[in-house]
Amino acid sequence: MKVLVTGAKGQLASDLISFLRENDIEIIPYGKDTLDITLLNEAIQISKRAKPHIIINCAAYTDVDGCETHKDLAYKVNAMGAKNMAISARKVECKLVHISTDYVFDGNRGFKHPWDKEHRIPEPYMEWDSPNPQSIYGHSKWVGETLVREQCPNHFIIRTAWLYGASGQNFVKTILGKSKSPQRDEPVYIVDDQFGTPTWTRDLARQILKLMVTETFGTYHATSQGFCTWYEFAQEIIKVSGMNLEIVSCTTEDYPTKARRPKNSVLDNWMLRCQGLDFMPDWRQSFHKFWDKHGTHLEGLTR
């Protein structure tokens, strides 16, 4: 099997490429310096030359606040780029895996027991729920999904959320890096009213492999099991790493950002589960495995 991966230097693609190679799959990696997915002719020519069995489009403009400022770039990469890779996949008659996001939803879905802070349970979003993105990033990714569906019938659209891995920048590395900041003796405020599911990129890589070898095309949610707030995730990072950092919970309103963040980013892997294809683990167990594998290296961020 031959797989072409775009966005090859990104956080998800790095673990994905490594995992697929471990499973004896030939990888044709392309970063943005070697494949500009916003250029249709370039995308088609490279795809025809590579002749892959599967294209996995990991390329995206993921700077959520940056998308608010650079709107044209957001739509060029996340929407038109997705369309170009879908057209390319159709022309070479291969499958397309396209990575999308929880940000296609508005995050306003309610909670069970909302009056009880200790036992709030967010109602998860299902694959068939109507998107209602509240940011340029979310809307550009939703347009990208729509264009993929229009251009390539043999597609897997995979929505995921709260990714972390050994490569790239993510929440885990941000928290670890706080102990080295000049303000390391001051408390760090972390949002405690946004819910989601931390998901290790290597777990998602394994899930992508399990799905892409099937013919069960469509839209899927793929995150780890369970949920937490950003504050609770930070607590787990501190606990596992043993770092000395004081964190204080705060609300979304206390931590304003240019782009609106969804308060409920919890996704239900229903489409995977009902077909016996859900291999995503519990998020806490997975984070401990991640730390066992990469903790020695990451501890350098806390010194």
Give the active site residues. Answer: 137
Give the pairing of strands 163-164 and 199-200: parallel
Sequential DSSP letters for 119-136:
G-EEPPBPTTSPP---SH
Provide CB contacts within 8 A for 72, sequence distance 6+. none
Angle 150-46-73 from CA coordinates, rounded to 5° = 60
Which of 229, 235, 233, 257 has its CA nearest to residue 247? Answer: 235
Write a three-state SS string for 206-263: HHHHHHHCCCCCEEEECCCECCEEHHHHHHHHHHHHCCCCCEEEECHHHCCCCCCCCC
Give all strands (DSSP E) within the chain, no chain letters. Answer: 2-6, 26-30, 54-57, 95-101, 111-112, 121-122, 155-160, 163-164, 188-191, 195-196, 199-200, 218-221, 228-229, 247-250
Beta strands in 58-205 (DSSP E): 95-101, 111-112, 121-122, 155-160, 163-164, 188-191, 195-196, 199-200
Block residue for tokens 């990072």: 237
User: Which amino acid is it at 197?
Assistant: T
